[in-house]
Chain A
Amino acid sequence: MSTNNDIHGQYRGTRGELFHLAIVTTILTVITLGIYRFWAKTRIRKYIWSSAVGDGDAFEYTGTGLEKFLGFLVAVVVLAIYLGVIQMVLFFFGLSFVAEPTTPAEVIMMMSLLYLNLLALLPLIFYAAYRARRYKMARTRWRGVRFGMEQGAWGYALRASGYTILMIVSIGLLAPLANFKLEKYMIDRSWYGDAKFEQHGKWTKLYGAMKHIFIGLTVLSVGIGAGAAMESEAMLAIGGVVGYVWLVVGGLYYRVHSMRYFFANRTLGEDIAFKAEPRTWDLLKIALIGGLIIGAILLAIMAVGGLGMAGVMSMVAQSESFALMGLIGFVGAVLYVLLLVLVGALTLVFILQPMINHFVTTFTVQGKDALGDISQRAAETGVDAEGFADALDIGGAF
């Protein structure tokens, strides 16, 4: 039901502009040995944010590369100490298990060491994730008014660690509980101007979105069980592949439908509600087609590059000059880095941007008349950006 009081999301970013921006910023990043990456991410965000439009008004990202860089420096000082010490101590104890473990006790020891390594970082990763989201909210504006998020990164890290343990213990069955509580924790601390977001609903309602995960698991176990019972390798293979693909698509289905549920039960202030209607199939199509396009482009480049390389190599083999060999090695390394740059830019243009486009254009804000009553929120000063997330390298392409 669409009324005049609804705002439908629009997206106006183009492939060409984003591709150009991505290539330029990544090459600058490589040339500056990685320092430009903070400015690169910021510029990509600015482009994507200002491409998202509601009611004719574009979003705005006001973060700066400089504050991201400074935040990173602060995080490095803290993490340098933490990481270095933890890694070395774990390596020290891990050494005895370099040789093949023979007794079950040794295997358990080795596994627990691996998980210990991860566990030591886990609370920090959650902490960083909350801070990163808070920073992005504080640096996002629409209609000149800021979004924002209250402090609470340690509370989040604590809860997220607890729910993660719960999820592992329940072999994933309580994933909706963890998912819902953590999302609610963040949404209930989020603001647009002086209007507060609120997440309603119940975590048990998310189980509906999990149905394809359960079907996938059933297919997987029945297929493998039947294959094993009948001693048929064909049955085993079919059950395994079908079950696995179903499970992966089921995971995407869960993400999409839990998102629908979250937005359907979310309010802003008294009068504003949301509707998110992304479609699993459309997202899958974007990923598949995008993947095919990127694959085809890379294949073409490698075919041409391979021929050229073979020609050069035969020349080098004849000349037996080590200086030339070194030069070829260097050129090869540069080409390799350029290829990585290209893959990153192509992924952004052919997969990520179309997906964002899909999410934005299937998004509706209901009750736009109430927007006029929302006032500005005070600026956040002294935030050290998302340095921890940058240092731990979480948060993806932009």
Chain B
Amino acid sequence: MLEAAGIYFDGVSAAKHHVDVRLDEATGYLSFEGQSIGAPQHWRLEELRLLADQPSGGWLTFTRHISGDDEMLRHEARLSLRDGVLNARLREFAPRLHKRDVNKGAGLRIVKLMGGAFAAVALMLFVILPAMADTLARFMPRDREEQFGQVVIKQISWFVSRDSDADLSCKNDAGLAALAKMEARLTANIDMEYELNIQVFDHPMVNAFAAPGGQIVIMRGLIDEAKGADAVAGVLAHEIGHVEHRDSTRNALRAAGSAGLISMVLGDFSGGALAAILAEQMLDASYTREAEAEADKFALEALRNAGVSGTGFASFFDYLLEQQSAALELPFYFMSHPPSQERADKARAFAQKQTATSSVLSAADWKALQGVCD
């Protein structure tokens, strides 16, 4: 039978008791007695627990498992043993030394609380914040929105050219006049809330976007790759849809509210910021799809009112799908404008139902627009 000296705290007072400890492997008990503790104590080995994550190589503290209110389901008494033969044998022989005891109701409580937390966060991210963003975007003064839009455009201009002072906008008068004609025809029959400010950027990227406050930018690459003026008109009508729905203002507001929330939930573990950005982007994408569908609807409506064929718009989707299946470098456009067969089909079905259509620009004007950056 192994014996060693130990130190015992009864969990009732902070008084220290020096005890003699005995391991009885036959009966499965750890027993100890000392002058100051009165009756000898007998701990069953199955109930014996070693405190977790202690530094090794010195005294180790043991305790006893009980069921009750304790946060770790341990009895308040503690027994410390110096590193040695008994200590080593005990760690080998006692069966449940490292068992983590968990309260019976814990599982249900976790499920309940997690459900509650998920629901609250989801409610915030998907219902309350978007609704608030909607309302606030409506109340935002127009000039404030325009100022903000200019900052966004500056950032995009920096993003594509890596030069903060670059003026990428194309200035060819005939081209801009053609663009103005296209805008006039598309918006002639629509009661517009925003005054549009459309620019063309001299950049090969196939892209177009709407910034807050009625500002739209078309990249030269989009005009270069378009099959005709009607294709550009379709994309432009789509961006006008974004403008009229205040999509980018709304998105910015919603992002401001949800960014802090997401980083809070994910916490500040290593690389947490990275994960937060990814999550934010995924969230963004889900809003974007909805906004895209709405803008498509607006675009088709505008084309109908203007008497412009939707075939061009459909051809643009075809172009994007082709690019995607060729798996070449992903154009930036995919990230915010996911193309799909469904969107192309919709535009084509719409085009088939149209009766009297005419091209949005004359051949000469289309030529001028193609040279807007010259």
**A residues engaging B (CB < 8 A)?**
12-14, 17, 21, 26, 29-30, 33-34, 37, 43-44, 46-47, 50-51, 55-58, 60, 62-64, 66-67, 69-70, 73-74, 76-77, 79-81, 83-85, 87-89, 91-92, 95-96, 98-99, 139, 141-145, 192-193, 322, 333, 336-337, 340-341, 343-344, 371-376, 379, 381, 390-393
A374 and B13 form a contact (CB under 8 A): yes
A43 and B59 in contact, given A144-B76, A337-B271, A372-B13 (Cβ under 8 angstroms): no
The smallest beta-carbon distance between A188 and chain B, in angstroms, is 21
Closest to A195 in B: B14
**B140 at interface by CB-CB < 8 Å:** yes
Nearest 3 A/B pairs, CB to CB = A144-B9, A88-B257, A91-B256
Distance to closest chain A CB from B259 (angstroms):
8
Take A34-B266, A46-B52 as given contacts and tell me if A144 and B14 are in contact as well, using a CB distance cutoff of 8 Å.
yes
> Nearest chain A CB to B253's CB is how many angstroms away?
6
B residues adjacent to A (C-beta < 8 A):
7, 9-16, 51-59, 61, 69-72, 74, 76-78, 80, 102, 106, 109-110, 113-114, 116-117, 120-121, 124-125, 128-129, 132-133, 136, 139-141, 144-145, 147-148, 150-151, 252-254, 256-261, 264-272, 274-275, 327, 329
Check B270 against A344 for contact (C-beta < 8 Å). yes
Chain B residue numbers with a CB within 8 Å of A79 are 264
Chain A binding surface, main DSSP class:
helix
Contact in complex: A34, B272 (CB < 8 Å): yes
B157 → chain A closest CB, angstroms: 16
* In-complex Cβ contact of A33 among B55, B125, B148, B275 (8 A): B275
**Given known A77-B116, A372-B13, A372-B16, contact A58–B54 (CB-CB < 8 A):** yes
Q: Which residue of A lies closest to B270 (CB)?
A: A340
Is there contact, CB below 8 Å, between B76 and A81? Answer: no
Could you tell me the distance in whole angstroms from the C-beta of B110 to the nearest C-beta in chain A? 7
Task: Determine if A73 and B113 form an interchain contact, defined as CB atoms under 8 angstroms apart.
Answer: yes
Nearest to A65 among chain B residues (CB) is: B100
Determine the chain A residues whose CB is within 8 A of the CB of B59 once the complex forms.
56, 58
CB contact under 8 A between A81 and B120, given known A17-B55, A37-B269, A375-B12? yes
Cα–Cα, bound, A85→B136 (Å): 11
List the B residue with the shortest CB-CB distance to A341. B270
Give the complex CA separation of A343 and B271 in angstroms. 12
> In the assembly, what is the distance between CA of A14 and CA of B267, in Å?
28
* A66 near B110: Cβ-Cβ < 8 Å: yes
Point out the residues of chain B lying under 8 angstroms from A21, CB to CB.
53
A139 to chain B, nearest CB (A): 7
B268 and A51 contact, CB distance less than 8 A: no
Known A-B contacts: A80-B264, A145-B11, A391-B264. Give 7 more (CB < 8 A). A30-B270, A46-B52, A62-B71, A77-B117, A84-B258, A144-B10, A392-B264
In the complex, A84→B259 CA distance in Å?
9
Assess the A70–B120 pair: CB atoms within 8 A: no
B69 — which chain A residues lie within 8 A by C-beta? 379, 381
Chain A nearest Cβ from B119, distance in angstroms: 8
User: How many contacting A-B pairs (Cβ < 8 A)?
Assistant: 207
Within 8 Å CB of B15, what residues of A? 143, 371-373
Given contacts A70-B109, A76-B117, A92-B253, contact A34 B275 (CB under 8 A): yes
Cross-chain contact B52 with A337 (CB below 8 angstroms): no
Taking a contact as CB atoms under 8 Å apart, the answer to whether A379 and B70 are in contact is: yes
B55 A12 Cβ-Cβ under 8 A: yes
- Would you call A390 and B52 a contact (CB within 8 A)? no
* A77-B120, A144-B9 known; A84 vs B128 contact (CB < 8 Å): yes
Residues of A within 8 A of B56 (CB): 17
User: Quick check: A376 and B55 within 8 Å, CB to CB?
Assistant: no
Contact A46 B148 (CB under 8 A): no
Complex: A236 Cα to B23 Cα, angstroms: 74
The 26 sampled A-B contact pairs (Cβ below 8 Å) are A12-B58, A13-B55, A26-B270, A29-B270, A46-B51, A60-B61, A60-B78, A62-B72, A62-B74, A64-B72, A66-B102, A67-B71, A69-B110, A73-B117, A74-B113, A81-B120, A83-B260, A83-B261, A84-B124, A85-B132, A91-B252, A95-B145, A144-B76, A337-B274, A340-B271, A374-B13
Does the CB pair B267–A393 fall under 8 Å? yes
B71 touches A63 (CB 8 A): yes
Report Cα–Cα, A30/B269, bound state, in Å.
7
CB distance from B23 to the nearest CB of A (A): 21
With a cutoff of 8 Å between Cβ atoms, the chain A residues found around residue B253 in the complex are: 88, 91-92
A237 vs B124: C-alpha distance when bound (angstroms):
51
CB nearest neighbor in A for B256: A91
**Complex interface: chain B residues within 8 A of A60 (CB):** 51, 61, 78
Contacts of B140 in A (CB 8 A): 92, 95
Q: How far is the CA of A81 from the CA of B129 in the complex (A)?
A: 9
Asked whether, in the complex, the Cβ of B110 is within 8 Å of the Cβ of A70, the reply is yes
List residues of chain A with CB within 8 A of the CB of B71: 62-64, 67, 139, 379
Q: Identify the closest chain B residue to A21 (Cβ).
A: B53
Q: A143 with B106: in contact, given A60-B61, A80-B120 (CB under 8 Å)?
A: no
- In angstroms, Cα B329 to Cα A84, docked, is 37
Closest residue on chain B to residue A26 by CB atoms: B270
Instruction: Give the distance in Å from the alpha carbon of A70 to the alpha carbon of B7 in the complex.
Output: 35
Q: Which of B77, B125, B148 contacts A95 (CB 8 A)?
A: B148
Q: How far, in Å, is A26 (CB) from chain B's closest CB?
A: 6
- With the chains together, A26 CA to B144 CA distance in Å? 44
State which of A44, A74, A99, A143 has its C-beta within 8 Å of the C-beta of B9.
A143
B116 and A98 form a contact (CB under 8 A): no
Q: Which of A139, A336, A374 contacts B14 (CB 8 A)?
A: A374
CB distance B121 to A76 under 8 Å? yes
Contacting pair A57 B80 (CB below 8 A)? yes
A336 and chain B: residue at smallest CB distance: B271
